[in-house]
Amino acid sequence: MGSFPVTTTEFLNPLDHEEFRKQAHLVVDFLADYYKNIEKYLVCSQVKPGFLTDTLPDSAPTQPQPLEAILQDVQNHIIPGLTHWQSPGFFAYFQSNGSTANFLGEMLLTGFNTVGFNWLASPAATELEIVVMEWLLKLLQLPKSFSFSSEGGGVIHGSTCESFVCTLVSARQKKMNRIDSSKRDSTNLWSNLVVYCSDQTHFSFQKASQIVGINPNNVRVVQTTKSMNFQLCPNALLKLIKADVRAGLVPLYLCLTVGTTPTTAVDPLGILCEVAKQFDMWAHVDAAYAGSACICPEFRHFLDGVEGATSFSFNPHKWLLTSLDCCCLWVKDRSDLTKALATDPELLKNYKENEYSKKVVDYKDWQIALSRRFRSMKLWMVMKSYGVSGLREFIRRHVKMAQHFEALLFRDKRFEVVVPRNFATVCFRIAPLSESSTEEDVNRLNKKLLESLNGTGDVYMTHAVVENIFVIRVAIGATLTEEKHVNMLWDMVQKHANALLGSKELES
Ligand SMILES: *Cc1c(COP(=O)(O)O)cnc(C)c1O
């Protein structure tokens, strides 16, 4: 009696449905205003390190605070420290384009808040994922062999790095199983496994190899060249593999890219997958950015040869109106994944004994973690809301704007489009001014141009260095970007180049 702590505040119900309705509406209004005013913000945040850690209190509030006050804090303290990825002036990295349908999907999946590690933990989460992965497979015209109707199947991961880790582990397990167990010396084999990529491959492949424990000396990086448009050269690859085999090493995994991060180069898939097959290697095709474009029939040829791959992945969270995190991975043989990643804990066995156990997919065995978000909900919402025609239209609009920007560059002799444009990313620079200007001078000039453009806060672009050439990358793909923004960018590029080249002339 009397031993209960007496509280003065009312008991909180964090899922009171009327409070939920009221507060969620406030947040939607807040975001609608954010999108309405997004062009008023500097695209790339200009704050200094510590801007927030030095400003916000160093302990959590003791008493509950009203939503209005919290949103005021978001406006005053958080938004200044955001780089506005949804801004129409965002041309950096690769875009992560948002959409209303995606937002609604995120609301639903967060609202349901299921943890669908196995089928029974939320049958709809598992089966909707199967449905959308089959829809996408058809849309991308991926070979039947990647489908659930054959031995394959698809899964939604959080990132490409996760897909790399899971397929690397699967490739290793497969290799171990293939090698006669009497001859198997696992420590020796593990340290002898070799993986192959190019110097244009995304750095998350290096990271994944590190995580998996590939011997750091056994990550082969094929050098690419501008003269070959930065494609992975089959002959150079073959040479490396043969040398490794002669040295007693074991080729394991080949990472190919459709739409590389620096310049959107496309590796010749068909012939490279042949090489992989010849040496019994796993061939993965990473189309993180460019995969989305391949839903349009006119761009599908970039995936030609994918039928020779062991696995394929792309990120709707870049260019298919879906937000982080959403990386779609397909494999030709789903048992490759489950043999390497399955666990069978007692706690999750409650339906295993019944008739369903053989019929269902337990996605926990297709990924790193056990728990998983209901990500298919947002992809399903996006595909239903915009339809195939809407999605294609959306991609084509970006490609058209990129063509337009490229045409403007072609017309002005001072500029050079450094690599052929394949999708909606244009790589350009101020061309060497004369025969006598060194590559270093030109690079310095282009770096200055990029800095002065980004310094305005109206646009944000990033660069790449390929074969010692500094290129400015213009990735056109933010949802709100329109032709007028591309024209504005072009005006700015000219104005800032004039200023730079003008002073250059005065110097000499
Ligand atoms: C962006 C990118 C990745 C990594 O993407 P995540 O967002 O980490 O999944 C991998 N490969 C390529 C080619 C990329 O452009």
The pTM is what? Answer: 0.94
**Beta strand 415-417 with 425-430: parallel, antiparallel or unpaired?**
antiparallel
CA–CA gap between residue 431 and residue 414 (Å, rounded): 6
Measured from the CA of 317, which atom of ligand 1 is nearest?
A: 7
Task: Determine which residue's CA is closest to atom 7 belonging to ligand 1.
Answer: 159
Distances (CA, A) of 35 to 23, 32, 75, 215, 227: 19, 5, 13, 47, 43
Residue 288 Cα to ligand 1 middle (Å): 5
Measured from the CA of 324, which atom of ligand 1 is nearest?
A: 7
Half-sphere exposure (Cβ direction) of 462: Cα atoms closer than 13 Å: 13
Measured from the CA of 260, which atom of ligand 1 is nearest?
A: 13
Find out whether the beta carbon of 224 lies less than 6 Å from any atom of ligand 1.
Answer: no
Residue 354 Cα to ligand 1 middle (Å): 40
**CA-wise closest residue to 453 among 92, 95, 96:** 92
Measured from the CA of 327, which atom of ligand 1 is nearest?
A: 9
Find out whether the beta carbon of 167 lies less than 6 Å from any atom of ligand 1.
Answer: no
Find out whether the beta carbon of 42 lies less than 6 Å from any atom of ligand 1.
Answer: no
Report yes or no: 289 and 423 within 8 Å, Cβ to Cβ: yes
Find out whether the beta carbon of 205 lies less than 6 Å from any atom of ligand 1.
Answer: no
Task: Determine which residue's CA is closest to atom 1 belonging to ligand 1.
Answer: 288
Find out whether the beta carbon of 263 lies less than 6 Å from any atom of ligand 1.
Answer: no
pLDDT at 345: 74
Q: What angle do CA 255, 189, 257 make, to 5 degrees?
A: 0
pLDDT at 391: 98
Find out whether the beta carbon of 328 lies less than 6 Å from any atom of ligand 1.
Answer: no
Find out whether the beta carbon of 159 lies less than 6 Å from any atom of ligand 1.
Answer: yes
Q: If residue 20 lies in a helix (H) or strand (E), which one and from where to where?
A: helix 17-36
Find out whether the beta carbon of 202 lies less than 6 Å from any atom of ligand 1.
Answer: yes
Residue 252 Cα to ligand 1 middle (Å): 21
Residue 328 Cα to ligand 1 middle (Å): 12
By residue count, the chain amounts to 508
Find out whether the beta carbon of 442 lies less than 6 Å from any atom of ligand 1.
Answer: no
Phi, psi (rounded to 5 degrees) for 201: -60, 145
Residue 291 Cα to ligand 1 middle (Å): 11
Residue 487 Cα to ligand 1 middle (Å): 28
Residue 314 Cα to ligand 1 middle (Å): 8
Cis peptide bond prior to 325, omega within 30° of 0: yes
**CA-wise closest residue to 130 among 110, 153, 163, 98:** 153
Phi, psi (rounded to 5 degrees) for 245: -65, -45
Task: Determine which residue's CA is closest to atom 15 belonging to ligand 1.
Answer: 261
Task: Determine which residue's CA is closest to atom 2 belonging to ligand 1.
Answer: 288
Residue 199 Cα to ligand 1 middle (Å): 15
Sheet holding 219-222, edge to edge: 153-157, 327-331, 311-314, 282-286, 250-257, 193-198, 219-222
Find out whether the beta carbon of 161 lies less than 6 Å from any atom of ligand 1.
Answer: yes
Find out whether the beta carbon of 170 lies less than 6 Å from any atom of ligand 1.
Answer: no
Find out whether the beta carbon of 204 lies less than 6 Å from any atom of ligand 1.
Answer: yes
Measured from the CA of 289, which atom of ligand 1 is nearest?
A: 15
Residue for token digits 């509030």? 61
Residue 210 Cα to ligand 1 middle (Å): 17
CA–CA gap between residue 304 and residue 298 (Å, rounded): 12
CA–CA gap between residue 64 and residue 126 (Å, rounded): 37
Find out whether the beta carbon of 309 lies less than 6 Å from any atom of ligand 1.
Answer: no
CA–CA gap between residue 261 and residue 238 (Å, rounded): 24
Find out whether the beta carbon of 267 lies less than 6 Å from any atom of ligand 1.
Answer: no
Partners of 222 in the beta sheet? 198
pLDDT (tens, 9 = 90+) of the chain, 508 residues, equals: 445 554 555 678 999 999 999 999 999 999 999 999 999 999 999 899 999 999 999 999 999 999 999 999 999 999 999 999 999 999 999 999 999 999 999 999 999 999 988 888 999 999 999 999 999 999 999 999 999 999 999 999 999 999 999 999 999 999 988 876 656 666 678 899 999 999 999 999 999 999 999 999 999 999 999 999 999 999 999 999 999 999 999 999 999 999 999 999 999 999 999 999 999 999 999 999 999 999 999 999 999 999 999 999 999 999 999 999 999 999 999 999 999 999 877 777 666 556 676 788 999 999 999 999 999 999 999 999 999 999 999 999 999 999 999 999 999 999 999 999 999 999 999 998 887 888 899 999 999 999 999 999 999 999 999 999 999 999 999 999 999 999 999 999 999 999 998 855 444 3
Find out whether the beta carbon of 94 lies less than 6 Å from any atom of ligand 1.
Answer: yes
Find out whether the beta carbon of 85 lies less than 6 Å from any atom of ligand 1.
Answer: no
Question: Which one of 163, 211, 261, 263 would you pick to mutate in the ligand 1 pocket, going by the greatest count of ligand atoms within 8 A of its CB?
Answer: 261
Sheet holding 462-466, edge to edge: 415-417, 425-430, 469-475, 462-466
Find out whether the beta carbon of 314 lies less than 6 Å from any atom of ligand 1.
Answer: no
**Burial grade of 17 (CB within 10 A; 0-12, 13-18, 19 or more):** exposed
Measured from the CA of 93, which atom of ligand 1 is nearest?
A: 1
